[in-house]
Structure 1
Amino acid sequence: MRVLLSEVAPRPRLDLRAIRRIARRAALEHGLRRGALNVVLTGDEDLRRLNRTHRGIDAPTDVLSFDLREGAFSEGDGVLGEVYISLPYARRRAAQRRRSLQSEVLHLTVHGVLHIAGYDHETDGAWRDMERETRRYTRETHSA
């Protein structure tokens, strides 16, 4: 499993290795073993465009994920999925939550990977499960 990190927007100082590491770990532990995962750090306008195109919502958002596998059980070595994170949105959310931008980006990275692995938050129970799993990774990262 390879994690490719792209920076479209100018970024503040972030630990890119930690972002790659948490994405890879979450992917591997949720069955995404072969191929690559792209994590794209970008801005509000890109997320707004993607949100409008793919979800019909004309507003920026914090994170969007795209599962690019051909089938649910694809064993190819290509790109499995992409996670797009808006750094300005993440910065605002981090300030609201009183945590660092790094912590917020790690949280959003795991959240995006979990979507590619099949998690959703269409119900309250599914939301709680996804948040619990996301926090497990970020908590372990901060205690390591």
Structure 2
Amino acid sequence: MEPLVDTLTEDARWQAFGLDEMAETAARAVLVDQALPGTGFVVSLLGCSDTRIAVLNADFRGKPQPTNVLSWPSEERGADRDGGRPDRPLPGAAEMPEELGDIAIAWETCEREAAEQGRPMGDHVMHLLVHGLLHLLGYDHLRDGDAALMEAAEIRILAKLGLANPYE
């Protein structure tokens, strides 16, 4: 089976952590939850440092500081009405999968947040990967109804992976 996630690790700590395998697990779990096929899609993932993500955050969001995860959907899939289901992407062919978008995740911020929350780093990173993948599929948390829908999906997906509700 072709990988769903094309992972580039700029920070070697992500390579040792097994980010590429975690991302594949997260992507497959999200697609199953969303009743989408496990083939015909691809996501690009950058495992980087706080320094790199701060530059990306400044360039794309006008916020020159590190953050845990950033997502860039390949197209707008969000629902028009608050709490509505996002538009479904159509899978591409095996040799030309549909690009869902790009995600970047920063080591130091993830490590610090996991410690502050008293959670294993792996659990926190899995949550952030699921969160980022849902953004690529049109989920968001700016409006209350959208936030409730996204949070419910995150909790459901993480539970199927054997992980606790990150919002408790």
* TM value normalised by structure 1: 0.83
% same residue? 29
Superposed, which structure 2 residues align to 1:112-131 within 5 Å?
A: 112-131=132-151
Does the Cα contact within 8 Å between 2:5 and 2:23 map onto a contact in 1?
Answer: no
Report the equivalent of 2:83: none
Q: Who wins on radius of gyration, i.e. which is larger?
A: 2
Give the distance between the partners of 1:69 and 1:121, measured in 2 at CA. 17
1:37/1:27 CA distance change after superposition, 3 Å: farther
Give the distance between the partners of 1:75 and 1:20, measured in 2 at CA. 17
How far the C-alpha of 1:83 sits from its partner, in A, is 1.2
Consecutive unaligned residues of structure 2, counting only runs of 5 or more, are 78-86, 164-168
Q: More helix per residue: 1 or 2?
A: 1
How far the C-alpha of 1:125 sits from its partner, in A, is 3.2
Does the Cα contact within 8 Å between 1:35 and 1:79 map onto a contact in 2?
Answer: yes
1:70/1:121 CA distance change after superposition, 3 Å: closer
Does the Cα contact within 8 Å between 2:100 and 2:137 map onto a contact in 1?
Answer: no
* TM value normalised by structure 2: 0.73
Does the Cα contact within 8 Å between 1:3 and 1:24 map onto a contact in 2?
Answer: no
How far the C-alpha of 1:75 sits from its partner, in A, is 4.9
Report the equivalent of 2:25: 21
Consecutive unaligned residues of structure 1, counting only runs of 5 or more, are none
